[in-house]
């Protein structure tokens, strides 16, 4: 026979409402009463029904996370930051991949709707109008690397992609590179577009004549980075530096150059964007733009928590106040990290 809250109340000699207040932390309870309830619950090995508790509290204490992919160091770090922030507020995660597709987002929303209190969504490859149609308007939502105004309830946390890419390009120009190859992400990816604009703007500002052949798409993958590097070094007038729009593509470029016998950085400088954990352990260590990926995920999660009711206080503690609403758009600054792969190691970090 299963143990119920009535059994705990009977053993502790209190009302069912008192047991509920103690277990939910919904109101102050005398310390002696609290101790009796917790002792009774432990003796009976009582475990509250999570679904029933969620219904009574009108919340699930869960956050839905929809990412374009779950593979790779970037998403691993992002989820680590999201999870840490959620756990500190006593929330759990339901995680799904959209596979870079609006239909994937719609499917994930359909599956987790009603099971989460809010959503974190990363969909830089989905258009504003398509995303507005896929996201629920009655669930608080924060867009990671997204655009504000997609839905009435959505907040956007994005990275300074343009500024970071411009800073990296300026750094390579300062090292006397004039032919800088750029390995771009997918053409319809908002982050990739901003990074490409930053690269081009920095070259224009330095009065460097644009050469469209120096921009090759790598689709944010290691294989794509390797193939793009192959295309760049095969040009009649190859670049002296390669700037990959993310670190995964830079890893692929480094692998190709090593196999081709092209030394980095003496014959070819290589740089990336994101500063994934492995970047500093590559050979040579990768010069890159630091995003602070885990902190990015945590900041997005906190922005969502800011518009959700506060989690119940621990038993015996005073109830938490409801949090205030944050700004509708937040831009994460980036930082240029100089390592060996660009041929300028030993310099300090530069703000991007």
- Which part of the chain is CATH 3.40.50.2300? 62-159+293-332, 161-291+334-351
Which stretches of 113-272 are assigned E, i.e. beta strand? 118-122, 141-144, 154-159, 180-184, 215-217, 241-244, 269-271
Q: Does domain 5-57 have CATH number 3.40.47.10?
A: no
Concatenating the DSSP letter of every residue in 36-58 gives HHHHHHHHHT----HHHHHHHHT
CA atoms of 294 and 312, how far apart (whole Å): 26
pLDDT value of position 317: 46
pLDDT value of position 147: 55
pTM over 0.85: no
Instruction: Give pLDDT tens digits along the chain (352 positions).
Output: 578 888 889 999 999 888 888 876 656 788 889 889 888 888 887 766 554 455 445 578 999 999 999 989 999 999 999 999 999 999 999 999 998 888 999 999 988 888 999 999 999 888 878 888 888 878 899 999 865 444 444 578 899 999 999 999 999 999 999 999 999 999 889 999 999 999 999 999 999 998 999 999 998 999 999 999 999 999 999 999 999 999 999 999 999 999 999 999 999 999 999 999 999 999 999 999 999 999 999 999 999 998 886 555 444 444 444 343 344 678 999 999 999 999 975 443 333 3
Topology of domain 161-291+334-351, per CATH? Rossmann fold (3.40.50)
C-alpha torsion angle, residues 337, 342, 347, 349 (rounded to 10)? -10
pLDDT value of position 113: 82
pLDDT value of position 307: 84
pLDDT value of position 293: 96
Total residues belonging to the chain: 352
Look up the CATH number of domain 62-159+293-332.
3.40.50.2300
Q: Give the largest CA-CA distance in the chain.
A: 87
pLDDT value of position 344: 79
pLDDT value of position 125: 85
- Which part of the chain is CATH 1.10.260.40? 5-57
Neighbours of 43 (CB within 10 A): 12
pLDDT value of position 345: 59
């Amino acid at each position: 026979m299963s143990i119920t809250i009535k059994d705990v109340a009977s053993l502790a000699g209190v009302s069912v409402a008192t047991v509920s207040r103690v277990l939910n932390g919904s109101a102050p309870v005398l310390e002696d009463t609290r101790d009796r309830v917790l002792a009774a619950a432990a003796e009976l090995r009582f475990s509250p029904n999570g679904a029933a508790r969620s219904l009574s509290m009108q919340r699930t204490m869960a956050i839905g996370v929809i990412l374009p992919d779950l593979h790779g160091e970037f998403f691993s770090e992002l989820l680590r930051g999201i999870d840490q922030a959620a756990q500190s507020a006593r929330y759990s995660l339901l995680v799904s991949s959209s596979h870079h597709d609006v239909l994937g987002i719609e499917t994930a929303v359909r599956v987790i709707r009603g099971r989460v209190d809010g959503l974190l969504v990363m969909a830089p490859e989905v258009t504003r109008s398509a995303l507005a149609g896929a996201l629920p308007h009655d669930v608080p939502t924060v867009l990671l690397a997204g655009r504000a105004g997609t839905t009435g309830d959505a907040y956007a946390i994005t990275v300074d992609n343009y500024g970071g890419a411009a800073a990296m390009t300026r750094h390579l120009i300062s090292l006397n590179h004039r032919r800088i190859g750029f390995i771009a992400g997918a053409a319809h990816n908002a982050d990739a577009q901003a990074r490409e604009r930053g690269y081009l703007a920095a070259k224009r500002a330095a009065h460097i004549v644009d050469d469209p052949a120096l921009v090759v798409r790598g689709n944010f993958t290691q294989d794509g980075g390797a193939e793009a590097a192959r295309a760049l070094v095969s040009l009649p007038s190859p670049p002296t530096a390669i700037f990959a729009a993310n670190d995964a593509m830079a890893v692929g470029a480094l692998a190709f150059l090593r196999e081709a016998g092209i030394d980095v950085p003496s014959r070819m400088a290589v740089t990336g964007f994101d500063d994934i954990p492995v970047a500093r352990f590559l050979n040579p260590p990768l010069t890159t733009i630091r995003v602070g990926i885990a902190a990015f995920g945590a900041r997005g999660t906190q922005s969502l928590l800011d518009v959700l009711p506060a989690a119940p206080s621990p038993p015996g503690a005073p109830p938490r106040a409801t949090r205030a609403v944050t700004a509708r758009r937040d831009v994460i600054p980036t930082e240029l990290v100089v390592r060996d792969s660009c041929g300028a190691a030993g310099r300090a970090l530069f703000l991007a």
